[in-house]
Structure 1
Amino acid sequence: MTDTTPAASIDDFIHADHDNHTYAPAVLVSANFNNKQFAAAFYEQYSVYCPPAMIKASSKRQAEYFAGRYLAAEAMASYDMHNFKLIADANRCPLWPSSLVGSITHTNNYAACIAANKADIAAIGIDAQDILSDERAERLQSRIIDSAETRIISQSELSAALGLSLCFSAKEAIYKALYPRIQQYFGFNAAKLHSIDTAANTFSFRFDPALMVLHTDRNLLTLRYQINEQRVQTCLILPATRK
């Protein structure tokens, strides 16, 4: 990073929106951000750790990474966790404070972080994706869902492209939530779409029982989803087991 003089203030680049209700007891912090107003100096100014690999990345990639980690700092501050150095492991999985679980996502000038106390939430994953075009959805469909999942989408009120966008996002959210506990790679076929409730904006996935270590209710995972004109966002929250 060569330019250390901010071209604009942080408020010109990003403004965080805190949501303490939608996913309570988790806290969601999200924002749209403006790549053109990003300055590399923000990393140092706001105590956001910049890994060595990011120093040589494009300005767009630096902005995306900073936005996600900046919102993560905001989310952790909700739990009185300040100035925590959020690094990632060898598989690029964020290493959260021992008392928290969290997840970060970003896509096309939008970023979000969700975090919660580990005493309340055992695992959490969030993912946002731009809605796929019909052409791209047709090209990617066989890599993300199988014929049974395709049939479930076709029987719902969702278009094929929107349904696939949601499944893509959901399977990413499932991976983000479960990988830190399972510590084992799994692909799109490990979670199969089981049902969609468009009235409640939820859908469920049957997860590979050989991998499941957190959830015992017939290995079904229920996610919530949100849709706007540009993107979808999905979130998986697994409550902690009360002793």
Structure 2
Amino acid sequence: MNRLPHCCAPLQHHWPLPHPVPGAVLVSCAFDPANLAADDFRRAAIEPTPSLQRSVAKRQAEYLAGRVCARAALQRLDGRDYLPATGDDRAPLWPAGISGSITHGKGWAAAVVARSSDCQGLGLDQENLLETERAERLMGEILTADELQRMDRSQLSLTTTLTFSLKESLFKALYPIVHKRFYFEHAELLEWSADGHARLRLLTDLSPLWCHGREIQGQFSLQGDQLLSLVSV
């Protein structure tokens, strides 16, 4: 029987974003690498890879938390007991007919899943708000020239972090569909609002369907200095 690792707090079955996605299930948990126990992988019935065994406690705890959430989300979705492995591209390997995404940040992890018939792609990303000085340094790498021109400098930290996170979520949602990598300069955040709504646009051709100019809706929530974003297609 699968048990919760010592490093993980009880699982939360909830929807921490403003707009529910029909058919999707999200599970999250807090985790603390300081509480990682020697038997946590065995307790959770998760087999660590050799590289994971050699990694630091933080990496082991966040991996455990993310996979525990993913397995619980799949169980809630359709009753299956399935643990996503990791592909050569380091992305989770979901069962046939399932879309999903895993994220983990500072002490928190989550997974979202849905049947592919309900949702073709899902991208979930959690970030800590960038400090203003770091946002200043990174904004030129994350934002396009047009995004920089539209930016409200009074919200520099939030805008830079949000743009980063939504583009990460967009990549996670589309990469399993198009099987083609793309980067920050290949999409732009057109607009976002305080109610958690966002709109993005592709600036490159990824496939005949996902081409330059295609617009995609996103959403986000902000709790303290923790930002969570989701792109579903």
Does 2:225 match 1:230? yes
**For the residues of structure 2 that align with 1:143 and 1:114, how far apart are their CA atoms?**
28
2:10 is paired with a residue whose SS is coil
TM-score normalised by length of structure 1: 0.86
Alignment match, 1:106: 104
Alpha-carbon displacement from aligned partner over 1:167-187 (angstroms, at most 9, x marks no partner): 000111111111111111111
C-alpha contact (below 8 Å) 1:182/1:213 kept by paired residues: no
Letter paired with 1:25:
G
TM-score normalised by length of structure 2: 0.89
1:79 is paired with a residue whose SS is helix
1:113 is paired with a residue whose SS is strand
**Cα offset for 1:82?**
3.5
Does 2:26 match 1:28? yes
Letter paired with 2:34:
K
Alignment match, 2:201: 206
**Cα offset for 1:213?**
5.3
1:118-137 correspondence to structure 2 within 5 Å: 118-137=116-135
C-alpha contact (below 8 Å) 1:125/1:174 kept by paired residues: yes
- Judging changes above 3 Å, is the alpha-carbon distance between structure 1 residues 183 and 123 closer, same or farther for their aligned structure 2 residues? same
Letter paired with 1:45:
R
Letter paired with 1:150:
L
- Judging changes above 3 Å, is the alpha-carbon distance between structure 1 residues 213 and 68 closer, same or farther for their aligned structure 2 residues? farther
Alignment match, 2:77: 79
- Judging changes above 3 Å, is the alpha-carbon distance between structure 1 residues 22 and 217 closer, same or farther for their aligned structure 2 residues? farther
1:50 is paired with a residue whose SS is coil
Q: Over aligned residue pairs, what C-alpha RMSD do you find?
A: 2.1
**For the residues of structure 2 that align with 1:194 and 1:204, how far apart are their CA atoms?**
6
The percentage of counterpart residues that share the same residue type is 29
**Cα offset for 1:51?**
2.0
Letter paired with 2:112:
I
Of 147, 150, 167, which residue of structure 2 is paired with 1:149?
147
Letter paired with 1:86:
P
**For the residues of structure 2 that align with 1:125 and 1:65, how far apart are their CA atoms?**
17
C-alpha contact (below 8 Å) 1:26/1:114 kept by paired residues: yes
Query: Where in structure 2 are there 5+ consecutive unaligned residues?
Result: none
**For the residues of structure 2 that align with 1:217 and 1:15, how far apart are their CA atoms?**
43
Alpha-carbon displacement from aligned partner over 1:182-229 (angstroms, at most 9, x marks no partner): 11111101111111222x311111113511555589510110000111
> When the two structures are aligned, how many residues end up with a matched partner?
227
2:90 is paired with a residue whose SS is coil
Alignment match, 2:158: 162
- Judging changes above 3 Å, is the alpha-carbon distance between structure 1 residues 49 and 72 closer, same or farther for their aligned structure 2 residues? farther
Letter paired with 1:202:
H
- Judging changes above 3 Å, is the alpha-carbon distance between structure 1 residues 70 and 197 closer, same or farther for their aligned structure 2 residues? same
C-alpha contact (below 8 Å) 2:71/2:83 kept by paired residues: no
